[in-house]
Amino acid sequence: MAVKIRLSRIGKKKVPFYRIVAVDSRKKRDGAFLDDLGTYDALNTKLVHFHEERIMDWVSKGAQMTPTVKRLLKLHKKGTQVAKPAKKQVKKQAKTAMPEKEEPKAAPKELEAKA
C-alpha cells in the first residue's frame, strides 16, 4: 500500500479549506484517510494546525509528500506566513486594425534589363 501525504478539501464552494492527511494513494481525494495531520486555510493562506512530528513519522514509514505539502512544511519550518503561489498574468491584447497589405515589390532593374 503506497501512502501519500496530501490535501483533502473540506471547504464549501468558493471557500477553500483543506485537511492535510495521510491516505492510500488509490483512494479518492476526499475519501477515507489514515491519519489527520493538520489543516490549511487556503483563502486566508495560513496553517491552522500542523502536526510536524506526525508528518515526519509517516515519512519515516515511507509515505510520500505531494509538492504542495512539501511547500507547506518548508514554510512552516521557516516560521513564515504561507504565501499564495504566484498567478500567471494574462495580458490583454489591444485590438488592432487589420494589417495593411503590402504592395508587390517591383522586380530589380537588372532582371528587367535581361528580359
Q: What are the pLDDT tens digits along the chain (115 aa)?
A: 789 999 999 888 999 899 999 998 888 888 888 899 999 988 888 878 888 899 999 999 999 999 999 998 888 888 766 555 555 555 555 555 556 666 666 666 666 666 5
Distance CA 70, CA 80 (A): 14
Determine which helix (DSSP H) or strand (DSSP E) holds 109, and give its type and residue range: helix 109-114
Beta bridge partners of 20: 7, 38
Specify the pTM.
0.64
pLDDT of residue 57: 93
> What are the domain boundaries of the chain?
3-78
- pLDDT at site 111: 61
- Taking the C-alpha atoms of residue 8 and residue 39, their distance in angstroms, rounded to an integer, is 9
Check residue 86 and give its pLDDT: 53
The CATH number of domain 3-78 is 3.30.1320.10: yes
Per-residue confidence (pLDDT) for residue 80, from 0 to 100: 67
Burial class (CB in 10 A: 0-12, 13-18, 19+), 89: exposed
Closest CA to 76 of 41, 51, 44, 57: 51
